[in-house]
Homo-oligomer: A and B are copies of this chain.
Amino acid sequence: MPSPTRRRRPSQGRSRATVEALVEAAAQVFERHGYAAGTTNRIAERAGVSIGTLYQYFADKDALLVAVAEEHLRRGAAALVPLVATLADDPPPAPAAALGDLLRAMLALHVDRPRLHRLLFEEAPLPERIVDGVVALEAEFAGRVADWLRRSPSVTVDDADTTAWLLVQAIEGLVHRWVIHPPTAGDDERFVAATVALLTHGLGGAVRPAPRTTAGGGR
With an 8 A cutoff between CB atoms, is A108 at the interface?
Answer: no
A144 contacts across to B, CB distance below 8 A: none
Knowing A154-B204, A202-B202, A217-B156, say if A183 contacts B165 (CB, 8 Å): yes
Task: Name A204's contact: one of B135, B139, B165, B201 (CB within 8 Å).
Answer: B201
Question: How many residues on A have C-beta within 8 angstroms of the other chain's C-beta atoms?
Answer: 62
Nearest chain B CB to A125's CB is how many angstroms away? 7
With an 8 A cutoff between CB atoms, is A137 at the interface?
Answer: no
Complex contact A174–B170 (CB within 8 A): yes
Segment with Cβ contacts to B, from A2-10, A39-47, A79-87, A188-196? A188-196
With an 8 A cutoff between CB atoms, is A181 at the interface?
Answer: yes
Nearest chain B CB to A203's CB is how many angstroms away? 5
A193 contacts across to B, CB distance below 8 A: 158-159
With an 8 A cutoff between CB atoms, is A140 at the interface?
Answer: no
A133 contacts across to B, CB distance below 8 A: none
A106 contacts across to B, CB distance below 8 A: none
Closest chain B residue to A138, Cβ basis: B181
Once the chains are docked, how many angstroms separate the CA of A176 from the CA of B150?
27
Complex contact B217–A151 (CB within 8 A): yes
With an 8 A cutoff between CB atoms, is A207 at the interface?
Answer: yes
Knowing A34-B125, A166-B174, A177-B169, say if A159 contacts B218 (CB, 8 Å): yes
Once the chains are docked, how many angstroms separate the CA of A174 from the CA of B176?
12
- Those of A131-158 within 8 Å (CB) of chain B: 135, 139, 142, 149-158
Closest chain B residue to A219, Cβ basis: B204
Some 21 contacts from A to B, beta carbons below 8 A apart, are A35-B36, A155-B218, A156-B208, A156-B217, A157-B206, A157-B218, A158-B194, A159-B194, A160-B218, A162-B183, A162-B184, A163-B203, A166-B194, A169-B173, A170-B173, A170-B174, A200-B202, A201-B204, A202-B202, A202-B204, A202-B205
Given contacts A36-B36, A156-B206, 4 further A-B contacts (CB under 8 A): A158-B218, A169-B177, A173-B176, A204-B219
